[in-house]
């Protein structure tokens, strides 16, 4: 009979109890009685060592045990294993498997079969790593296993110690992942390529370029562009050569146009695509780079949309040597267009302007929560300023002023915030603005972010247009903050919004504004993760009020800033 062992302490086998209760006067006699001899051991302890993922392994728990010089296993009578105690290595959690028959039941890797300990080493395959780069997965673990062997000796059972060790084995490369690469002639770029899993001991890769007159790749994955054209490169694992992939290297002229804020793949390589939130304007920015020559002077660009009714180019704004196009997206989700960008004039150095390749960005419209917020369960509806045109509940702040402005990016109005006289302890001007709606049904942010377990895991990315109406003389910083009023781990006595800008509480997105009076398009990056996408954390487990707060640092008293065309895109629901 096999008895599942718990992770920690195991009581005596039910077999022992059952057979002992039968007595010895009649019926089955297992030979278990007080006339059996005392058990002794050659050593106080013994050890067993196995590799993870090595199948079913067995340990004879009677090994080294004897009675009067005779191996215990060779003596007559019953022997029982009882009072087994497993002491886990510090900081290690014993892996367990899901039960196929009992819901929410976990199965230990350890079972008893008679006097043998049976181990399913496959369960350790995800818990041990020979070459861990996180510090969370040991390469070896040792259990201290104590147990008793009972043969009925009147002096009691004999205690034994087993030191049971499991070792990680090298994890094989199961896949090579890479992205196609673009490089300028005469330039270099690091190829995005890596083995899977990322904790293999030998992560080295080989690179075989089909046409080395176009490009070369060194052993570290550094691509050098030699001549314009396209060639393939086969990337294979050094340790597991059969694991390989093929991608393309495109070598462009030495002067090239780049879309600065297009979407990228998991390797950070531009995809030539961009999702645009519906019903608002989005900024698409292009900039030139040159390998052989410094950029200088003015550059003029031409923007063309293949679907002008769905993605209209409203305006263009200077951005260094580049330019930002203001693209107004249709209200319809699922529309697409090709945005073509051409260089009309500018210094291109050794690359003739006629050879400068146009850049095409394929854009797709996706749901913007601010334009499609759903329906409030309150009969009065949401009281939220979705379009940032100063409607709904009034804004409140620290001596700041609020109004609607007719200067807007794509709609009829924007929110104008006038800085008050408040300064930080360091003397930096500080302005705060928020719609403080304390009704969870009427405040969209509370209704979507503050629903406890129903909100946890929702993932969003944010963008907004900003304009400083006076030329700044000092740096100006904008902070976009999403803050719950109640969350797990909130500090006792937390005061106001800033008292909730702590671990597990507010999500903070900080942007340094450019020192000009043009509209600026900000695609927020969350401060802590340095990623565009942010997920509602597990600490927001309580139904609570949630607020979107705008903070401006460095804006002098009386100066104004405009906010417009705010977009909130939920990415886990696309």
Q: Say whether both 409 and 516 belong to one domain.
A: yes
- State both tokens at 369: 């929560």
Residues 329-356 have a mean pLDDT of 97
- pLDDT class of 574 with cuts at 50, 70, 90: low
Residue 134's pLDDT band, with cuts at 50, 70 and 90, is confident
Query: What is the reported pLDDT for 34?
Result: 55
Q: Please, which residues have CB within 8 angstroms of residue 292's CB and are 6 or more apart in sequence? A: 186, 254, 349, 350, 351
Note the pLDDT of residue 36. 76
> Under DSSP, is residue 117 helix (H, G, I), strand (E, B) or coil?
strand
Q: What is the rounded distance in angstroms from the CA atom of residue 554 to the CA atom of residue 550?
A: 13
pLDDT computed for residue 106 by the predictor: 84
Contact 305, 326 (CB under 8 A): no
Higher pLDDT, 135 or 275: 275
As for how many domains the chain has, the answer is 4
Closest to 128 in 3D by CA, of 174, 168, 165, 173: 168
How many Cβ atoms sit within 10 Å of the Cβ of residue 90?
Answer: 6
**DSSP bridge pairs for 225:** 185, 215
Instruction: Evaluate if residue 103 carries a pLDDT over 60.
Output: yes
Q: What is the pLDDT of residue 31?
A: 54
Q: Are residues 221 and 283 in the same domain?
A: no
If asked whether residues 213 and 322 sit together in one domain, one would say no
Whole-structure pTM value: 0.78
**297 — alpha (psi -120 to 50), left (phi > 0) or beta?**
left
Instruction: Specify if 87 maps to a domain.
Output: yes
Domain C-terminal end among 112, 143, 167 = 167
Quick: pLDDT tens for 467-507.
999 999 999 999 999 999 999 999 999 999 999 999 999 99
Residue with tokens 């009581």: 11
- The CATH number assigned to the domain holding 529 equals 2.60.120.260
Contacts for 285 with CB less than 8 Å, ≥ 6 apart: 259, 260, 261, 319, 322, 323, 324, 325, 521
- 516 lies in the same domain as 534: yes
- Nearest in space to 564 (alpha carbons), one of 410, 395, 367: 410
**Domain co-membership, 484 together with 524:** yes
Contact present, 16 and 80 (Cβ < 8 Å) = yes
Q: What integer is the mean pLDDT of 520-546?
A: 97
Question: Given a cut of 90, is residue 260 above it in pLDDT?
Answer: yes
Q: Which of 209, 227, 252 is the last residue of a domain?
A: 252
Q: Output the DSSP codes for 284-301.
A: EEEEEEESSS---S--EE
- From CA 343, how far away is CA 336, in angstroms rounded? 23
Query: How large a percentage of the chain has pLDDT more than 90?
Result: 87
Residues 344 and 429 in one domain: no
Closest C-alpha among 218, 245, 243 to residue 232: 245
How far is residue 490 CA from its own chain's centroid? 24
Q: Which domain holds residue 353?
A: 256-366
> What pLDDT, on the 0 to 100 scale, is given for residue 26?
44
Q: State how far the Cα of 178 lies from the Cα of 220, in Å rounded to an integer.
A: 14
Residue 418: per-residue pLDDT: 98
Within 13 Å, how many C-alpha atoms sit on residue 379's CB side? 0
For range 77-89, the mean pLDDT = 92
Q: Can you point out the beta strands (E) in 469-518?
A: 477-484, 507-512
Q: Is the pLDDT of residue 2 over 60?
A: no
pLDDT the model gives residue 37: 87
Residue 390 resides in a domain? no
Q: How far apart are CA 295 and CA 288, in angstroms?
A: 8
Residue 428 is predicted with a pLDDT of 97
Q: Does residue 547 sit in the same domain as residue 429?
A: yes
Which residue bears the tokens 């009925």?
A: 152
pLDDT at 32 over 70: no
Confidence (pLDDT) at 97: 87
Mean pLDDT (whole number) for 376-404: 95
Same domain membership, residue 210 and residue 162: no
How many whole angstroms separate alpha carbon 257 and alpha carbon 251?
Answer: 13
Percent of the chain at pLDDT above 70?
94
pLDDT exceeds 50 at position 29: no
Condensed to tens digits (0 to 9), the pLDDT of residues 195-224 reads 999 999 999 999 999 999 999 999 999 999
- Give the side-chain half-sphere CA count within 13 A for 36: 25
Q: Considering the domain boundaries, does residue 489 fall inside one?
A: yes
Residues 419-445 have a mean pLDDT of 96
Query: What does the alpha-carbon distance between residue 140 and residue 142 come to, in Å, rounded to a whole number?
Result: 7
So what's the pLDDT on residue 521? 98
Q: What is the mean pLDDT of the chain?
A: 92
Does the structure show a pLDDT above 60 at 120? yes
Sign of CA dihedral 69, 75, 81, 86: positive
* Predicted confidence (pLDDT) at residue 82 exceeds the cutoff of 50: yes
d(CA 554, CA 207): 50
Tell me what the mean pLDDT of segment 43-51 comes to: 95
- Is a pLDDT exceeding 60 seen at residue 436? yes
DSSP designation for 559? -
Is the predicted pLDDT of residue 294 greater than 50, yes or no?
Answer: yes
Distance CA 231, CA 213 (A): 9
Least confident of 2-6, 166-170, 428-432: 2-6
Q: Is there a single domain that holds both residue 404 and residue 424?
A: yes
Q: Is residue 278 part of a domain?
A: yes
Residue 518 clears pLDDT 70, i.e. is over it: yes
197 and 160 within one domain: no
Q: Give the pLDDT of residue 35.
A: 63
The answer on 304 and 425 residing in a single domain is no
């Amino acid at each position: 009979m096999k008895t599942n062992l718990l992770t920690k302490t195991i009581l005596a086998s039910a077999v022992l109890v059952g057979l002992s209760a039968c007595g010895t006067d009649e019926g089955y006699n297992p030979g278990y009685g007080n006339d059996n001899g005392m058990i002794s051991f050659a050593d106080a302890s013994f050890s067993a060592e196995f590799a993870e993922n090595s199948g079913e392994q067995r340990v004879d728990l009677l090994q080294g045990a004897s009675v009067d010089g005779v191996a215990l296993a060779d003596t007559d009578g019953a022997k029982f294993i009882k009072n087994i105690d497993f002491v886990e290595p510090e900081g290690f959690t014993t892996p367990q498997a899901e039960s196929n028959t009992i819901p929410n039941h976990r199965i230990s890797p350890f079972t008893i079969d008679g006097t043998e300990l049976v181990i399913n080493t496959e369960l350790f395959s995800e818990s041990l790593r020979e070459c861990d780069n996180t510090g969370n997965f040991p390469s070896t673990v040792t259990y201290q296993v104590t147990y008793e062997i009972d043969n009925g000796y009147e002096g009691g059972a004999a205690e034994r110690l087993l030191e049971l060790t499991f070792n990680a084995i090298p994890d094989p490369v199961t896949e090579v992942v890479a992205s196609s690469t673009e490089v300028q002639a005469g330039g270099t770029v690091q190829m995005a390529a890596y083995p899977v899993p990322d904790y293999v001991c030998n992560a080295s890769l080989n690179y075989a370029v089909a046409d080395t007159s176009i490009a070369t790749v060194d052993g570290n994955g550094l691509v050098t562009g030699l001549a314009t054209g396209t060639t393939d490169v086969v990337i294979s694992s050094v340790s597991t050569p059969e694991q390989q992939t093929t991608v393309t290297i495109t070598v462009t002229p030495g002067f090239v146009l780049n879309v600065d804020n297009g979407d990228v793949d998991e390797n950070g390589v531009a995809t030539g695509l961009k999702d645009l939130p519906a019903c608002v304007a989005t900024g698409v920015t292009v900039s030139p780079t040159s390998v052989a020559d410094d950029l200088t002077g003015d550059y003029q660009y031409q923007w063309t949309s293949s679907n002008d009714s769905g993605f209209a180019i409203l305006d263009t704004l200077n951005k260094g040597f580049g330019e930002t196009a203001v693209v107004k997206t249709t209200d319809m989700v699922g529309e697409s267009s090709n945005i073509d960008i051409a260089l009309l004039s500018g210094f291109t150095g050794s690359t003739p302007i006629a050879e400068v390749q146009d850049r095409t960005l394929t854009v797709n419209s996706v749901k913007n929560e601010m334009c499609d917020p759903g329906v409030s369960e309150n009969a009065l509806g949401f009281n939220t300023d979705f379009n940032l045109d100063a409607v709904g509940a009034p804004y409140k702040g620290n001596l700041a002023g609020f109004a609607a402005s007719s200067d807007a990016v794509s709609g009829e109005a924007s929110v104008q915030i006038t800085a008050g006289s408040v300064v930080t302890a360091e003397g930096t001007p500080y302005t705060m603005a928020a719609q403080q709606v304390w009704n969870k049904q009427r405040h969209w942010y509370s209704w979507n972010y503050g629903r406890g377990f129903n909100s946890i895991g929702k993932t969003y990315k944010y963008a907004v247009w900003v304009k400083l109406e006076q030329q700044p003389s000092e740096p100006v910083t904008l902070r976009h903050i999403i803050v719950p009023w109640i969350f797990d781990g909130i500090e006792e006595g937390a005061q106001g919004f800033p008292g909730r800008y702590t671990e597990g509480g507010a999500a903070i997105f900080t942007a340094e504004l450019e020192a000009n009076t043009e509209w600026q398009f900000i695609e927020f990056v969350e401060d802590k993760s340095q990623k565009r996408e942010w997920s509602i954390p597990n600490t927001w487990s309580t139904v609570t009020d949630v607020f979107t707060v705008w903070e401006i640092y460095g804006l002098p008293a009386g100066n104004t800033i405009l906010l417009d065309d705010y977009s909130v895109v939920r990415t886990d629901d696309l």
